[in-house]
């Protein structure tokens, strides 16, 4: 008999699962309804991917034999012992009880940051938080690595990021009305492959090509020209990294000097321009040329062009992942207000067309299914990127958004669905801090570097091995993600694992509410159906959806133009800022008295940049952007990601002249280094990158050679061996991965083998 294809959803897209005559899933195909499907997940069934699965529960040898806290410096170095599920669950439940009783739930870090997999019920972060809440709570994290600075800044001055993201004017309206589109950091096609929970219809390429076809002019301010593809001409302004705030302030300066700013708009819709304007003194185009490397005459003419025509200014999230990363965002909002086009079709600002597929979608917004997480009895939290600081400074304080937080004393770290040895900055420093907890528990699908550095690793299923519901914000389709195969090895759903642990800790019924997976899917789906209907969006009943394999949301479409209601009547539709207006000057932020984030947009030198003293020793600015061939570190071991590697390493893009000055040829093995670390990578030459800038995309699994020394060589090309682990400012404490200087040399010594993609050693119990 023939087996019908089923669907599966990943953050990067939907795939059709093909089965053989025996019902075995054999191949994945692109989703037929997607005009621009992503190749990232095509090999999810491959042997290369399966090879690295965690197959059985495993416990680090010293921990198993000597108990919590034993030889923490051996994490990642020593063998694991595989154990039965019953024993593994017993160990975890007892250890949680021990930490709760001898310390308290304030000693459990369950922040567990990470993207997990698509699928709303089995979302690992939701599951771990629901579980830890039921057993007394945990220290959580706030904000994200994605938007550390913007999530804190934007609600003070305009609106929360999530609201702004889903308000972005759709592509067809942009094509019709926008005349000049100025992007800071491009609109990278590679990034828009992703939408959290599952991209179903990729529309960014079509959107950009449509704008170009209607004659929109594009100016791209970026160190890396390949981040904007419109199918036509793009003017490239090759800016020095981390200096965009200076450029934008100089654009503001020109507008004011030439009386081109929209006084009516500023008076009606904003507060604080009078306090900001004097700070522009001296910040003219000539001043900005020295900082940014963009010729002064072009800055002046660009400001005039912007004022003369319907203009959108769009900024990418990468710009705020930098030291003082609040400033380019605040400056951009200020510039858009001076241009006076906020709320007009094709005009105003965008906080990123491109980072994910969501922005510019015209599909209705409705509430998707989500697993309730309960309430957390512990109030302690950290800004997410202060994780290493927390471990190193228990009892220490950290300023954050107007308050001082105290770092808790963490004894147990519980992680499900993230990879801190991918996402955190300065991984050599994290390696040292990682010794602090007495116990580290991971649920993982794969033997990632972080899993290999844990004490107890529990094998989790992938979304191909369980039933779930795919839903992404402003995507047209809900996807019935049907189980396509049996779990590999003894892998179990995170839900099953937490259910069992909860049972042992007397919370089993509270955790499962008596439902199995299918009952949960139906329950969560029907709840979301009721809420969506209230908002004017109809989705079919669950059984019909599951039977059909997918569902299309029908109904009320969106307000087409970003912030149009506010523009139409700011009294009736005030913003949620203290004044109800856009805050060019924020009394609130000024009142915090932070020297690194004053009350209005300004330019402050980053701690490292091409104009700083450090550049004498480390003259290359390293950008570590999101990888084209994967989502973060996920599927780094798949054939698709492998194909981009050179000599088994991550390529580092550099300008031919920077390479020639160092005797480097295309494809050479390189050592990238600074005072914090060093890694190996391979040269990929391109004249589409600014001189003095190099790009080492994230995602190569962390692969330190040896250990113990302060600065081990990372062998695979993980940029977080080099990045700096401080906060963007006292306001946000956001991660600043894009602020990083390095030097590069040819690596002529015999190349050490890459061992990132390996299963750890297993030994019998001693």
Ligand X SMILES: Nc1nc2c(c(=O)[nH]1)N[C@H]1C(S)=C(S)[C@@H](COP(=O)(O)OP(=O)(O)OC[C@H]3O[C@@H](n4cnc5c(=O)[nH]c(N)nc54)[C@H](O)[C@@H]3O)O[C@H]1N2
Options 169, 270, 401, 720; binder of ligand X; rule CB under 6 A: 720
CA distance 277 to 226: 35
What is the DSSP track for 147-179?
THHHHHHHHHHS--HHHHHHHPPPHHHHHHH-S
Q: Which listed option, ligand X, Mo ion, none, makes contact with residue 323 (CB within 5 to 8 Å by class)?
A: none
Residue 227 found at the interface with ligand X (CB under 6 A): yes
Options 416, 456, 481, 563; binder of ligand X; rule CB under 6 A: 416
Q: Which listed option, ligand X, Mo ion, none, makes contact with residue 577 (CB within 5 to 8 Å by class)?
A: none
63 is catalytic: no
φ, ψ of residue 265 to 5 degrees: the values are -60, -45
Residue 316 found at the interface with Mo ion (CB under 5 A): no
Cβ of residue 317: shortest distance to Mo ion, in angstroms?
Answer: 7
Q: Is 418 left (phi over 0), alpha (psi -120 to 50) or beta?
A: beta
146 or 224, CB closer to Mo ion? 146
Cβ of residue 211: shortest distance to ligand X, in angstroms?
Answer: 19
Strands 180-184 and 348-350: unpaired
At 737, list the tokens. 């991965």
Q: Which listed option, Mo ion, ligand X, none, makes contact with residue 419 (CB within 5 to 8 Å by class)?
A: ligand X
125 or 528, CB closer to ligand X? 125
Cβ-contact 441, 456 below 8 angstroms: yes
Cβ-contact 319, 328 below 8 angstroms: yes
Residue 477 found at the interface with ligand X (CB under 6 A): no
Q: Which listed option, Mo ion, ligand X, none, makes contact with residue 238 (CB within 5 to 8 Å by class)?
A: none
Q: Which of 115, 353, 471, 618 is catalytic?
A: 115
In the region spanning residues 139 to 178, those forming contacts with ligand X, defined by CB under 6 A, are 145-146
**What is the pattern of x (binds Mo ion, CB under 5 A) and - over residues 135-164?**
-----------x------------------
Strand partners for 446: 53
Strand partners for 81: 59
221 or 344, CB closer to ligand X? 221
Residue 586 found at the interface with ligand X (CB under 6 A): no
Four-CA torsion 102, 106, 109, 110, nearest 10 degrees? 110
Cβ of residue 187: shortest distance to Mo ion, in angstroms?
Answer: 17
Residue 114 found at the interface with ligand X (CB under 6 A): yes
Q: Which listed option, ligand X, Mo ion, none, makes contact with residue 346 (CB within 5 to 8 Å by class)?
A: none
CA distance 24 to 26: 6
Strand partners for 496: none
Q: How far is CA 598 from CA 54, 302, 466, 583, 587, in A?
A: 48, 27, 50, 13, 10
Residue 418 found at the interface with ligand X (CB under 6 A): yes
Residue 184 found at the interface with ligand X (CB under 6 A): yes
Cβ-contact 422, 430 below 8 angstroms: no
CA distance 720 to 714: 10
CA distance 351 to 479: 28
Cβ of residue 444: shortest distance to ligand X, in angstroms?
Answer: 5
Strands 348-350 and 381-383: unpaired
Q: Is 514 left (phi over 0), alpha (psi -120 to 50) or beta?
A: left
110 or 570, CB closer to ligand X? 110
Options 53, 75, 140, 190; binder of ligand X; rule CB under 6 A: 190
386-406 burial, b at 16+ Cβ within 10 Å, e below that, comes to bbbbbbebeeeebbbbeeebe
Give the binding range for ligand X (CB under 6 A) out of 45-53, 281-289, 619-627, 649-657.
Answer: 619-627
Residue 583 found at the interface with ligand X (CB under 6 A): no
Options 57, 188, 272, 368; binder of ligand X; rule CB under 6 A: 188
512 or 698, CB closer to ligand X? 698
What is the DSSP track for 406-421?
E-----EEEEES--HH
Strand partners for 403: 400
CA distance 734 to 52: 32
Options 6, 341, 586, 738; binder of ligand X; rule CB under 6 A: 738
113 is catalytic: yes
Cβ of residue 200: shortest distance to ligand X, in angstroms?
Answer: 16
Q: Number of helices and strands (H, E) in the chain?
A: 26, 32
Q: How far is CA 167 from CA 97, 141, 360, 744, in A?
A: 45, 26, 8, 42
Residue 738 found at the interface with Mo ion (CB under 5 A): no
Binding-residue total with ligand X (CB under 6 A): 64
Residues 6+ apart with CB under 8 A from 450: 415, 418, 419, 420, 421, 422, 442, 444
The residue written with tokens 């930098």 in the block is 322
Q: Which listed option, Mo ion, ligand X, none, makes contact with residue 390 (CB within 5 to 8 Å by class)?
A: none
Residues 6+ apart with CB under 8 A from 67: none
Q: Which listed option, ligand X, Mo ion, none, makes contact with residue 381 (CB within 5 to 8 Å by class)?
A: none
Residue 193 found at the interface with ligand X (CB under 6 A): yes
Residue positions counted in the chain: 766
Give the binding range for ligand X (CB under 6 A) out of 166-174, 416-424, 431-439, 746-754.
Answer: 416-424
φ, ψ of residue 579 to 5 degrees: the values are -90, -10
Give the binding range for ligand X (CB under 6 A) out of 168-176, 445-453, 527-535, 704-712.
Answer: 445-453
Q: Which of 12, 15, 113, 471 is catalytic?
A: 113
63 or 317, CB closer to ligand X? 317
In the region spanning residues 196 to 225, those forming contacts with ligand X, defined by CB under 6 A, are 221-224
Which H or E run includes 663? none
**What is the pattern of x (binds ligand X, CB under 6 A) and - over residues 59-98?**
----------------------------------------
Options 122, 130, 411, 452; binder of ligand X; rule CB under 6 A: 122
Give the binding range for ligand X (CB under 6 A) out of 161-169, 171-179, 186-194, 467-475.
Answer: 186-194
Cβ-contact 10, 198 below 8 angstroms: yes
Residue 222 found at the interface with Mo ion (CB under 5 A): no
CA 700 to chain centre: 16
Q: Which listed option, Mo ion, ligand X, none, makes contact with residue 623 (CB within 5 to 8 Å by class)?
A: ligand X
CA distance 605 to 171: 35
68 or 355, CB closer to Mo ion? 355
Q: Which residue is nearest to Mo ion (CB)?
A: 146
CA distance 697 to 226: 14
Options 698, 729, 732, 733; binder of ligand X; rule CB under 6 A: 698
At 147, list the tokens. 């938007």
What is the DSSP track for 474-530?
T-SEEEEE---SPPSTT-B-HHHHHHHHHHHTT-HHHHHTT--HHHHHHHHHHHHHH
In the region spanning residues 310 to 349, those forming contacts with ligand X, defined by CB under 6 A, are 316-319, 321-322
**What is the pattern of x (binds ligand X, CB under 6 A) and - over residues 360-399?**
----------------------------------------
Cβ of residue 746: shortest distance to ligand X, in angstroms?
Answer: 23
Q: Which listed option, ligand X, Mo ion, none, makes contact with residue 255 (CB within 5 to 8 Å by class)?
A: none
Binding site for Mo ion (CB under 5 A): 146
Catalytic residues: 113, 115
Binding site for ligand X (CB under 6 A): 113-117, 122, 124, 145-146, 184-186, 188, 190-191, 193-194, 221-224, 227, 239, 241-242, 244, 316-319, 321-322, 352, 355-356, 416-419, 422-423, 443-446, 448, 460, 494, 623-628, 631-634, 698, 719-720, 723, 737-738
């Amino acid at each position: 008999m023939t087996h019908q294809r089923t669907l599966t959803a990943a953050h990067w897209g939907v795939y059709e699962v093909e089965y053989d005559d025996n019902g075995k899933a054999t191949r994945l195909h692109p989703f037929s309804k997607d005009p621009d499907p992503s190749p990232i997940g095509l090999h999810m069934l491959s042997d290369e991917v399966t090879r690295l699965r965690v197959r059985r529960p495993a416990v680090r040898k010293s921990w198993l034999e000597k108990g919590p806290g034993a030889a923490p410096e051996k994490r990642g170095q020593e063998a694991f012992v595989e154990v039965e599920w019953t024993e593994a669950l017993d160990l975890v439940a007892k250890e949680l009880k021990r930490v709760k009783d001898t310390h308290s739930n304030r000693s459990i870090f369950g922040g567990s940051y990470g993207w997990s997999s698509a699928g709303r019920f089995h979302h690992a972060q939701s599951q771990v938080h629901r579980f830890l809440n039921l057993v007394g709570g945990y220290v959580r994290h706030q904000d994200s690595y994605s938007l550390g600075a913007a999530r804190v800044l934007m609600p003070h001055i305009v609106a929360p990021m999530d609201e702004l993201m889903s308000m972005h004017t759709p592509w067809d309206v942009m094509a019709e009305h926008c005349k000049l589109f100025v992007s800071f950091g491009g609109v990278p096609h590679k990034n828009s492959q992703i939408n959290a929970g599952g991209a179903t219809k990729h529309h960014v390429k079509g959107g950009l090509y449509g704008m170009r076809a209607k004659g929109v002019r594009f100016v791209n301010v970026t160190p890396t020209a390949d981040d904007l593809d419109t199918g036509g001409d793009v003017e490239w302004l090759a800016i020095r990294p981390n200096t965009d705030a200076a450029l934008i302030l100089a654009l503001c300066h020109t507008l004011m000097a030439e009386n081109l700013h929209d006084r009516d708009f500023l008076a009606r819709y904003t507060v604080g321009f009078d306090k900001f304007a004097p700070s522009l003194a001296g910040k003219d185009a000539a001043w900005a040329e020295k900082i940014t490397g963009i010729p002064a005459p072009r800055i002046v003419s660009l400001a005039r062009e912007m004022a003369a025509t319907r203009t959108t200014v769009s900024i990418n999230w990468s710009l705020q992942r930098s030291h003082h990363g609040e400033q380019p965002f605040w400056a951009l909002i200020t510039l858009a207000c001076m241009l006076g086009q906020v709320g007009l079709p094709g005009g105003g600002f965008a906080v990123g067309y491109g980072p994910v597929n969501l922005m510019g979608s015209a599909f209705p917004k409705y509430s998707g299914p989500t697993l309730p997480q309960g309430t957390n009895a512990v109030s302690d939290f950290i800004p997410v990127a202060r994780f290493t600081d927390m471990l190193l400074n228990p009892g220490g304080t950290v300023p954050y958004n107007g308050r001082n937080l105290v770092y808790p004393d963490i004894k147990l770290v519980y992680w499900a669905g993230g990879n801190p040895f991918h996402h955190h900055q300065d991984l050599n420093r994290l390696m040292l801090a990682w010794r602090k907890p007495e116990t580290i528990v991971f649920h993982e699908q794969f033997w990632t570097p972080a899993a290999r550095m844990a004490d107890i690793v529990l094998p989790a299923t992938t979304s191909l091995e369980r039933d779930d519901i795919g839903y992404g914000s402003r995507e047209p389709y809900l996807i019935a993600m049907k189980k396509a195969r049996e779990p590999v090895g003894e892998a179990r759903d995170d839900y099953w694992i937490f259910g069992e642990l909860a049972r042992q800790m007397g919370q089993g019924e509270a955790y499962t509410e008596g439902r199995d997976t299918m009952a949960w899917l139906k329950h969560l789906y029907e709840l979301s159906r009721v809420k969506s209907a209230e908002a004017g969006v109809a989705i079919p009943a669950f059984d019909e959806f599951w039977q059909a394999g997918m569902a299309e949301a029908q109904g009320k479409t969106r307000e087409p133009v970003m912030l149009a209601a506010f523009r139409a009547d700011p009294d009736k539709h005030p913003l949620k800022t203290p004044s109800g207006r856009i805050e060019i000057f924020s009394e609130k932020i000024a009142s915090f008295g932070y020297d690194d984030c004053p009350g209005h947009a300004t330019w402050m030198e980053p701690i490292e940049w091409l104009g700083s003293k450090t550049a004498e020793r480390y003259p290359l600015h390293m950008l570590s952007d999101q990888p084209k061939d994967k989502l973060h570190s996920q599927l780094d071991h798949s054939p698709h990601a492998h194909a981009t590697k050179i000599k088994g390493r991550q390529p580092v893009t550099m300008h031919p002249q920077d390479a020639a000055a160092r005797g480097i040829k295309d494809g050479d093995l390189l050592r990238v280094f600074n005072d914090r670390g060093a890694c190996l990578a391979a040269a990929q030459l391109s004249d589409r990158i600014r001189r003095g800038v190099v790009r080492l995309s994230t995602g190569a699994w962390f692969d330190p050679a040896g250990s113990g020394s302060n600065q081990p060589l990372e062998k695979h090309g993980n940029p977080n061996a080099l990045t700096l682990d401080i906060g963007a400012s006292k306001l946000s404490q956001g991660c600043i991965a894009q602020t990083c200087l390095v030097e590069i040399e040819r690596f002529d010594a015999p190349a050490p083998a890459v061992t990132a993609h390996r299963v750890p050693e297993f030994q019998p119990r001693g």
